[in-house]
Amino acid sequence: MIRLQVCLECQQRQYPLRDLCRACLSDKLALMDDAGDGRLLARTVLHRSSEAEWQQALPLALGTVDLTSGAHLICFLAADVQPGEPVRVKAGPDPLGRQSLTAHRI
């Protein structure tokens, strides 16, 4: 389960959080739970980083997920998920232990 921002005017879900709805520019936004189910659109593997702390976590798979609820997000990939496959995005620690989103194959 993840939490997404939803527009109370047009019901558009969005991630990351913004001050205005990206669809209708309303500022009437709230957070709501989302199952995190969707499909992997694209993936890439990061082999280099300019941040020294990330060197220990490389290579690192990242992907773009099209959630069933309508939002798109970029997150870490837990396994060798290929584009087109169904995934579930979950909140949890990234390789450095910070809270982030990771897509898992379902």
Q: Residues interacting with Zn ion, by CB under 5 A?
A: 7, 9-10, 12, 21, 23-24, 26
Q: How far is the CB of 34 from Zn ion (least distance, A)?
A: 16
Give 23 or 61: the residue with its C-beta nearer to Zn ion.
Answer: 23
Give 25 or 45: the residue with its C-beta nearer to Zn ion.
Answer: 25
> Which H or E run contains 28?
none
Expressed in angstroms, the distance from the first to the final Cα of the chain is 14
Give 26 or 55: the residue with its C-beta nearer to Zn ion.
Answer: 26
Q: How far is the CB of 18 from Zn ion (least distance, A)?
A: 10
Place of tokens 């890439």: 44
CB-based contacts of 2: which residues, under 8 Å, 6+ apart?
33, 34, 36, 89, 90, 91, 101
Q: How far is the CB of 23 from Zn ion (least distance, A)?
A: 4
